[in-house]
Structure 1
């Protein structure tokens, strides 16, 4: 497991570590206490990935297009 706090990870870092956590849990060769810790870390990583995807979707949705289909700038996304 990485020492990087989940809140500081990029989407790619969180996804890579989440895949590693899932692989280790699926193998089933870790002690119970470590499995619990891995599961908790995996839940945090999953949430980070979901949050980063939502953020990206909101940015994409905020782009408006002009009559020629070209980006016309950004419009504010409600709640941000």
Structure 2
């Protein structure tokens, strides 16, 4: 089985594997050493997911804010 390096994973790949890791740890059917390895992998996957989310938030902010950090091109929703 080939293990994809965490830093090469998409958000979706990292999240899917993180869910698997959490499931294995919650079941508690792995040896202590393997649990430690899984926990370390899970921590790296969580960090990758957070980084990819931050990246996406920054892209959205760049699209929706002008150079001064003010919203641009947004029209208020009627009734709000």
Pairing 1:1-80 to 2, within 5 Å after superposition: 3-64=3-64, 65-66=72-73
Quote how far apart the aligned CAs of 1:67 are. 6.6
How far off its partner does 1:14 sit? 0.1
Structure 1 gaps of 5+ residues are: 70-80
CA RMSD of aligned residues (A): 1.9
Higher strand share: 1
SS in 2 for 1:3: coil
Q: Indicate the residue corresponding to 1:73 in structure 2.
A: none
TM-score (ref. length: structure 2): 0.79
**Runs of 4+, deviation exceeding 2 Å:** 64-69
Q: Which has the higher contact order (CA 8 A, sep 6+)?
A: 2
Cα offset, 1:68, TM superposition = 6.4
* Alpha carbons 1:11, 1:49 under 8 Å: kept: yes
Unaligned runs of 5+ residues in structure 2 are: 65-71
Q: TM-score, normalised by structure 1?
A: 0.79
> Bigger radius of gyration, 1 or 2?
2
